[in-house]
Amino acid sequence: MIRITREYLERLTTVDFSRVLALAATLMLDGREVLIGVARYVLEADGHACEFALVVADAWQGRGIGRRMMEKLIALARNRGLQRIYGDVLSTNSRMLDFCRRLGFNLGRNPNDATVTRVALVLA
């Protein structure tokens, strides 16, 4: 288990804000702060789209944490004026694909890898 220190959280969340936005979900467990999720996006070079990543610790999945983090990430991308947010999901990860569908993402083929599904949401 990773020890959550201020330095560790700063390393995860201190980013180049002109290109990257990161959110961290933590909670207090047995008197210690524990990291249970991270959501981030990285702006594409064209400045119109961003790629997202989302990780929620196994023990905390299915509790709405990922949904709340993604809704916030999407809202922040919209507020920034981005037109599209997308990500790549393993085609065998049916839970994540269903999750993305429920958030309104369209699912399509990844042009570079048939084992990965490209999920995309139009923001503008």
Cα torsion 8, 9, 15, 21 to 10°: value is: 150
| CATH architecture of structural domain 6-122 | 3-Layer(aba) Sandwich (3.40)
Q: pTM for the whole thing?
A: 0.83
pLDDT of residue 52: 97
Task: Tell me which of 31 and 8 has the higher pLDDT.
Answer: 31
Q: Specify the pLDDT at position 25.
A: 95
Interval 52-81 mean pLDDT: 96
Residue 2, pLDDT score: 62
Identify the residue with better confidence: 32 or 8.
Answer: 32
Is 116 in a helix, a strand, or coil? Answer: strand
Q: Where are the domains of the chain?
A: 6-122
Q: What is the DSSP string of 29-90?
A: ETTEEEEEEEEEEEE-TTSSEEEEEEEE-GGGTTSSHHHHHHHHHHHHHHHTT-SEEEEEEE
Model pLDDT for residues 85-105, shown as the tens digit of each residue? 999 999 999 999 999 999 999
Q: In the predicted model, what is the mean pLDDT of the chain?
A: 91
Residue 77 has pLDDT above 60, yes or no: yes
Render pLDDT for 19-30 as a digit per residue (tens, 0 to 9).
899 999 999 989
pLDDT at 1: 54
